[in-house]
Amino acid sequence: MSENHTPMIGDKFPEVELQTTHGKMVLPKAFESKWFILFSHPADFTPVCTTEFVAFQKLYDQFKALNTELIGLSIDQVYSHIKWVEWIKDNLDVEIQFPIIADHGAFAKTLGLIHPAKGFSTVRAVYFVDPKGIIRSILFYPQELGRNFDEFLRMIKAFQVSDANGVAMPANWPNNELIGDKVIVPPASDFKAAMYKKSRYQNYDWWFCYKEVGQD
């Protein structure tokens, strides 16, 4: 990956050694064989970011049950991160258990997280990285909008079901308006396969077949 290339979906997550609140870590190696979600926040000791860290921590056990780790990032010193984590525990009775990267700006620039119009702070970005170190999704939010963390949990579940079954996931899965919690069969590439899939699976037509998770 060239220095001027911002990582995109399908790229290998850039290998880098970083200082975190849990010590030095090398990504993506530190989470080898696991999914991980890297999320940036504009700054420590800010109200929206505080609500986001509490929200992520509340779901941390559910992410870990899905073989998924979390790691935060902002352009703050590690001392600031530690003090903020202490403040959250002392004042909100929530212990932040996942690491936070202390970045001086170089790594944030590599990921394309600094918006020139917003000064020297990161946007609210979210990177989903699979156990092979491949970036599977990238989401960006403006500074004024806090994120929906239940959606991130849904996305991890959907990625894992999709990978394990070779299927596509409908909108709002597992509560899709047309097929509920079922999943979409990949479309056929020729006439014979199209007719076979239409006869084998529930469908709206040959190009829109669906099935239960785990069904052959």
* Residues with catalytic function: 49
Q: Which of 47, 2, 39 is nearest to 113 (CA)?
A: 39
* DSSP per-residue codes, 140-168: EE-TT----HHHHHHHHHHHHHHHHHT-B
Could you tell me if 128 and 140 are in contact, meaning their C-beta atoms sit under 8 angstroms apart? no
Q: Give the burial class of 71: count Cβ atoms within 10 A of its Cβ; 0-12 exposed, 13-18 middle, 19 or more buried.
A: buried
CA distances from 1 to 5, 42, 75, 123 (A): 6, 26, 23, 22
SS3 for 42? coil
- What is residue 172's DSSP assignment? T
